[in-house]
């Protein structure tokens, strides 16, 4: 494997790029297993936009990231096209592994509207 930096190989760099970040907790969101690229500021920007659009605060929502596509599909039962879903019964949002930095804001915001 090609060395990019002394003591750090490409595999280690790839693992670090998808690592799970520290938990993200705001007044509206509790997210325990967010991907490493996601920041609290970004979550707050999306949440604030939805709250301002709807003109009411979002209740504390638990957000769960599913890292395995097969497990996620088994969980929701709707097939492979689903990126994320909201469960109003327990005030949660479940995000699948195909949600990434380019589609997070739109997908997450959409699910918050359902909650």
Q: Which pLDDT does position 16 carry in this prediction?
A: 41
Is 0.85 surpassed by the pTM of this model? no
Average pLDDT score, the chain: 87
Q: List, for residues 10-44, the tens digit of each pLDDT value.
A: 444 444 445 566 799 999 999 989 999 999 999 99
Q: What is the mean pLDDT of residues 46-73?
A: 94
Q: For residue 88, how far is the Cα from the chain centroid?
A: 17
């Amino acid at each position: 494997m090609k060395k990019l930096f002394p003591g750090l190989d490409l595999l280690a760099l790839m693992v670090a790029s998808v690592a799970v970040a520290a938990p993200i907790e705001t007044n509206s969101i509790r997210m325990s297993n967010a991907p490493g690229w996601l920041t609290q500021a970004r979550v707050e920007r999306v949440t604030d936009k939805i709250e301002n659009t709807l003109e009411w605060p979002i209740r504390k929502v638990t957000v769960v990231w599913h890292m395995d596509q097969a497990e996620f599909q088994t969980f929701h039962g709707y097939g492979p096209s689903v990126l994320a879903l909201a469960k109003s019964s327990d005030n949660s949002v479940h995000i699948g592994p195909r949600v990434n930095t380019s589609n997070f804001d739109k997908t997450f915001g959409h699910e918050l509207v359902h909650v």
